[in-house]
A and B are shown apart, each in its own frame.
Chain A
Amino acid sequence: MDLIRPSFPLHEETTAASVPSARRSGMGAASRRRTRITAAAAAAMAAGLLLTACGGGAATQGADQPAAADPASAANATGSLNVCGGKDASGIYKGTVEAFTKANGKVTAKYTEIGATTDEARTQAVQRLEGKSSECDIFVTDVIWTSEFASQGWLLDQTKLVEANKDRLIPSTVETAKYEDKYWASPFFTNAGLVYYQKDKVAKPETWQQLYAEAAGAEGNSYVYQGKQYEGLTVNFLEMLYSAGGEVLDENGEVRIDSPETREVLDFMVKGLEDGSADRAVLTYNEDPARLAYESGNFGYQRNWPHVYRLLNATPLAGTFGVAPLPAWEGGKASGVLGGWNLAISAHSTNQAGAVAFIDFATTPDWQKHVAMDFSQAPVNEAAYADPEVLAKMPFATELLASVKGAKPRPISPVYPQISQAIYKNVYAVLSGAATTEDAVKTMAEEITAAKASF
């Protein structure tokens, strides 16, 4: 918020060198006061400007039913196609549009980066969609944006397309594109949590209970995860909650967070911080600090995403660590939370046929192999994980597939951001000792219920 400083001088009387100015001007005291207040108001207005100027953007979209994408249209696609999304760190977006343009021959696709961070990309996408811009034909969307975008009528219905491609897509990844019984996007590449562990110090974790017990067993064995107050904490918490059999919303969208499972998981996490299973520093960790801490060699376990594999291999820890799918809850099953990115077609796209052709290409089993080999991302096609070429580049593909197949989407709701805040703020309050489990669970349930009742 340093962007706007009042760049005009405040009323002269307030500046240091202006003592004589009150005498210079012939104004009376009353009018002087008036000018002062005007100046104060003007200065304060400028101060408030940045915030309020950001405040625009009410939804102005009509509630008309969006059109559906036709799978057959791809054959006759021509023209140009613009794919928009966040920063292309792995090169997958540009790589895919180039390969598609080459393979297709008739459609020319390009990639436009609309934001350096995930948050920024969402803001930029929302602005274009609210403004009915036809600039972008396809948006690369985070799996958690689907229901919000779909509920606003911003996306083309992809149900037919997804149904046609269903046999080549992993079912759990398809579920991330679903909202109110229709599919609004196609999965492009996925993501699921993994546990990295030091083979010389600790055993491969089968259950969370075993992991925590081993982590507390000796100095230097403890577990690091993402416990800062942000989206990542929601993911870390839900991974345990899902494996313990708990849920946030049930199939009918009813709030189910106020459950014995939620309490059990929260108490388990708190105990872990108290007995040293997990390092207390996780309260400040998101992905990168957790990775860097683990790289110091002072820890036994780390929960992180697949991209960490390559980074860890470039450190002295190379060869000493193993990769495991997320463990099961004792007496329950292994589960997880799906991340990843989908391809959504803008309702205002002027080249819907081209967009369908692009999605067809991006989800083919052959291109999905490249997704793993060339860009180190998790494919949405199951066969790719067993491919020898992929295994050579991604030796943990089997474990990753297990994590992906067992994972579930985060709560599907147009008010997901509010639901996630209710989760991570209250979980954080319990972990940091600011609230009791009982109070936090009640607040969480109330806040999620209130969020669901959003107008």
Chain B
Amino acid sequence: MATKSLSPGRWGSSSGMNGRDREERRLAFRMTAPSLVLMALVAAVPIGYALWLSLNQYSVRTAGLSRFVGLDNYVAALSGPHWWAAFGQTFLFAGLSVSLELVLGTAMALLLNLAFKGRALLRTVVLLPYAVVTVVSAITWETMFQPNLGLVTNVLSTLGLPGGDVIWLGEHGYAMAVIVLADVWKTTPFAALIILAGLQVIPAETYEAAELDGASKWQAFVHVTLPLLRPAIVLAAIFRTMDALRVFDLPFVLTRGANGTESMSMLAYTQLRENRLVGEGSALSILTFLTVMVVSVVYIRFAGGNIREVAKEEQ
């Protein structure tokens, strides 16, 4: 691979650690220590505090009253129906929206990678939906799917297409479809951008080699582009999945969680902010956070395996 030229010989050796390596590792550790401390302060302290809150109950009836309840808040959340409903709904949303975003994002990236006039401009323009504040775009989608007056419903019924007389945000299934659509519209450009970056580091020689071997365009895409693009796609998938699992503003504006669209974050928000049930709400936030973390770890291991394979093949 062309990237080999980036690897000076000294780094290529995998002959275990010598004294010099150890010294360099110590240096690396010393140099990263300040940022590790900063990260601990910024990330660990609030999470630790939330963890502590989640092990207590704070009275909403009497000022200042609180008691330690151990894991009661978690038991209550996990044994009730609300958490699991929100859990399932959030994963359904994340699964649908992230897969659509990756497929469309890949297609978009391939188009943007072609050489044509005005490419730079177009690359900027496609990012526009991503620049729109989510709440604002949610309100726009709500207006468009409004029964009687909305643009989408009007166009559908004028053209005699199905869906014109559907109360989109008032029906199970349809409401989820609108939320997925709103998310796909907004964040596909983001996925496309990451995938485009991955596309650009694929060296042209690999395609030339494929062509010489008699591969068709489709074969080249399936056997050259996709495998080399996998790290980029996985990265986009990680970012998008983490975001999607924390989805809040879209269901909050579009349905208020009605019709099977309440997400884990919405549930935590309701308990924390609206009901001021600080203990229960914190437990739900921690559960949300653990869910996202487990999913991320799984993803990153999967991506790591892929990269290890590539590295091995190279050797």
Residues of A whose CB lies within 8 Å of any CB of B are 1-2, 5-6, 10-11, 13-20, 22-26, 28-29, 32-33, 36-37, 39-63, 119, 123, 126, 148, 151-154, 228-230, 279-281, 283-284, 289, 292-293, 296, 298, 414-415, 417-418, 421, 425, 428, 432, 434, 454-455
Using CB atoms, name the residue of chain A closest to B52. Answer: A58
State whether A41 touches B293 (Cβ < 8 A): yes
Interface residues contributed by chain B, number (CB under 8 Å): 99
Which residues of B are found within 8 Å of A57, using beta-carbon distances?
A: 276, 278
State whether B46 touches A20 (Cβ < 8 A): no
Which residues of A are found within 8 Å of B194, using beta-carbon distances?
A: 16
Which residues of A are found within 8 Å of B124, using beta-carbon distances?
A: none
Once the chains are docked, how many angstroms separate the CA of A330 from the CA of B170? 29
**CB-contact partner of A48 in B42, B248, B292, under 8 A:** B292
**CB-contact partner of B63 in A32, A59, A283, under 8 A:** A59
State whether A47 touches B289 (Cβ < 8 A): yes
**26 CB < 8 A contacts A-B:** A5-B239, A15-B231, A16-B201, A16-B231, A19-B3, A22-B308, A28-B16, A29-B308, A43-B296, A48-B47, A48-B286, A49-B46, A59-B278, A126-B276, A148-B276, A151-B63, A153-B63, A228-B258, A284-B169, A284-B170, A414-B61, A415-B275, A425-B258, A428-B258, A455-B57, A455-B61
State whether A281 touches B258 (Cβ < 8 A): no
**CB-contact partner of A52 in B39, B46, B169, under 8 A:** B46
> Among residues 106 to 150 in chain B, which have CB atoms less than 8 Å away from a CB atom of chain A?
133-134, 146-149
Interface centre among B65, B234, B304 (most CB of A within 10 A): B304
Instruction: Decide yes or no whether B191 CB sits under 8 A from chain A.
Output: no
In the assembled complex, how far is the CB of residue B108 from the closest CB belonging to chain A, in whole angstroms? 16
Using CB atoms, name the residue of chain B closest to A62. Answer: B64
* Contact of A434 with B172 at beta-carbon distance under 8 Å, contacts A14-B231, A20-B7 already known: yes
State whether B148 touches A296 (Cβ < 8 A): yes
State whether A48 touches B65 (Cβ < 8 A): no
State whether B270 touches A455 (Cβ < 8 A): no
State whether A23 touches B293 (Cβ < 8 A): no
**CB-contact partner of A58 in B17, B58, B171, B255, under 8 A:** B58
Interface centre among A26, A228, A432 (most CB of B within 10 A): A26
Interface centre among A2, A41, A280 (most CB of B within 10 A): A2
**CB-contact partner of B167 in A148, A280, A417, under 8 A:** A280
Using CB atoms, name the residue of chain A closest to B271. Answer: A418
In the assembled complex, how far is the CB of residue A280 from the closest CB belonging to chain B, in whole angstroms? 5
State whether B239 touches A26 (Cβ < 8 A): no
State whether A22 touches B249 (Cβ < 8 A): no
Q: Mark B154-179, 1 if CB is under 8 A from A, else 0.
A: 00000000000001111110000000
Using CB atoms, name the residue of chain B closest to A451. Answer: B275
State whether B11 touches A58 (Cβ < 8 A): no
Q: A54-B285, A57-B278 are in contact. List 4 more A-B contacts (CB 8 A).
A: A40-B296, A59-B66, A59-B276, A414-B60
State whether A44 touches B289 (Cβ < 8 A): yes
**CB-contact partner of A417 in B64, B275, B303, under 8 A:** B275
Which residues of A are found within 8 Å of B257, using beta-carbon distances?
A: 229
Instruction: Decide yes or no whether B44 CB sits under 8 A from chain A.
Output: yes
Instruction: Decide yes or no whether B247 CB sits under 8 A from chain A.
Output: yes
State whether A432 touches B297 (Cβ < 8 A): no
Which residues of A are found within 8 Å of B239, using beta-carbon distances?
A: 5-6
* Contact of A454 with B308 at beta-carbon distance under 8 Å, contacts A16-B198, A20-B3 already known: no
Instruction: Decide yes or no whether B104 CB sits under 8 A from chain A.
Output: no
* Contact of A61 with B64 at beta-carbon distance under 8 Å, contacts A40-B297, A41-B297, A48-B288 already known: yes
**CB-contact partner of A36 in B231, B246, B304, under 8 A:** B304
State whether B289 touches A48 (Cβ < 8 A): yes
State whether A52 touches B281 (Cβ < 8 A): no
State whether B17 touches A432 (Cβ < 8 A): no
Interface centre among A17, A60, A63, A414 (most CB of B within 10 A): A17
Instruction: Decide yes or no whether B218 CB sits under 8 A from chain A.
Output: no
Once the chains are docked, how many angstroms separate the CA of A148 from the CA of B275? 10
Which residues of A are found within 8 Å of B232, using beta-carbon distances?
A: 16
State whether A51 touches B297 (Cβ < 8 A): no
State whether B293 touches A1 (Cβ < 8 A): no
> Among residues 1 to 54 in chain B, which have CB atoms less than 8 Å away from a CB atom of chain A?
1, 3-4, 6-7, 11-14, 16-17, 21, 39, 42-44, 46-47, 49-50, 53
State whether B61 touches A415 (Cβ < 8 A): yes
**CB-contact partner of A229 in B58, B168, B255, under 8 A:** B255
In the assembled complex, how far is the CB of residue B34 from the closest CB belonging to chain A, in whole angstroms? 14
Once the chains are docked, how many angstroms separate the CA of A418 from the CA of B280? 13
Once the chains are docked, how many angstroms separate the CA of A284 from the CA of B6? 58
* Contact of A44 with B53 at beta-carbon distance under 8 Å, contacts A17-B197, A418-B275 already known: no
Using CB atoms, name the residue of chain B closest to A56. Answer: B49
> Among residues 52 to 76 in chain B, which have CB atoms less than 8 Å away from a CB atom of chain A?
53, 56-67
State whether A37 touches B297 (Cβ < 8 A): yes
State whether B170 touches A293 (Cβ < 8 A): no
Once the chains are docked, how many angstroms separate the CA of A150 from the CA of B57? 20
8 interchain residue pairs of minimum CB distance: A48-B289, A283-B170, A44-B293, A16-B198, A281-B147, A229-B258, A16-B232, A52-B50
State whether B265 touches A51 (Cβ < 8 A): yes
Which residues of A are found within 8 Å of B307, using beta-carbon distances?
A: 13-14, 18-19, 22
Which residues of A are found within 8 Å of B247, using beta-carbon distances?
A: 1
Using CB atoms, name the residue of chain A closest to B233. Answer: A16
State whether B4 touches A230 (Cβ < 8 A): no
In the assembled complex, how far is the CB of residue B21 from the closest CB belonging to chain A, in whole angstroms? 5
State whether B149 touches A292 (Cβ < 8 A): yes
Which residues of B are found within 8 Å of A16, using beta-carbon distances?
A: 194, 197-198, 201, 229, 231-232, 235
Using CB atoms, name the residue of chain B closest to A280. Answer: B167
Which residues of A are found within 8 Å of B65, using beta-carbon distances?
A: 59, 63, 455
Q: Mark B230-270, 1 if CB is under 8 A from A, else 0.
A: 01101100110011001111000001111100000100111
Once the chains are docked, how many angstroms separate the CA of A375 from the CA of B144? 32
* Contact of A454 with B60 at beta-carbon distance under 8 Å, contacts A229-B258, A230-B256 already known: yes
Interface centre among B17, B229, B249, B259 (most CB of A within 10 A): B259
Once the chains are docked, how many angstroms separate the CA of A43 from the CA of B238? 10
